[in-house]
């Protein structure tokens, strides 16, 4: 059980990063690209990585946790990069106008 708590810790941190970035992008009304990014992260990274780690290594159920964490981390990094891009674009537009 203690081992799963470590996986849950990293899962929660990764989820917090991606959820915060996604909420900020919703505030900027930038939802279409965020949707595609999370779709790719969940379906093309989370599930295949978790399934592969669970079935082709000795990790078992921990492999699913690691796969989910990798996918959430990928979503967090991608969404955070998109958020930084949106903020820089908006800031430079405001600077040009003002």
Is 59:67 a contact under the CB 8 Å cutoff? no
Q: How far apart are CA 66 and CA 60, in angstroms?
A: 10
Specify if 81 maps to a domain. yes
Specify if 58 maps to a domain. yes
Specify if 9 maps to a domain. no
Is 25:82 a contact under the CB 8 Å cutoff? yes
pLDDT in tens, the chain (98 residues): 788 899 899 999 999 999 999 999 999 999 999 999 999 999 999 999 999 999 999 999 899 999 999 999 999 999 999 999 999 998 887 777 76
The model carries a pTM of 0.87
Q: How far apart are CA 55 and CA 73, in angstroms?
A: 21
Specify if 25 maps to a domain. no
Specify if 83 maps to a domain. yes
Residues 6+ apart with CB under 8 A from 68: 11, 46, 50
Task: Provide the domain limits for residue 39.
Answer: 30-93
User: How many folded domains does the chain comprise?
Assistant: 1
């Amino acid at each position: 059980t203690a081992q799963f708590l470590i996986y849950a810790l990293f899962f929660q941190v990764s989820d917090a990063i991606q959820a915060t970035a996604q909420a900020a992008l919703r505030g900027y009304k930038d939802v279409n690209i965020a949707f595609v990014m999370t779709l790719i992260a969940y379906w093309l990274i989370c599930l295949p990585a978790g399934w592969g780690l669970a079935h082709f290594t000795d990790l078992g159920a921990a492999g699913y946790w690691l796969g989910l964490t990798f996918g959430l981390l990928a979503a967090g990094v991608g969404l955070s990069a998109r958020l930084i891009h949106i903020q820089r674009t908006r800031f430079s537009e405001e600077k040009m106008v003002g």
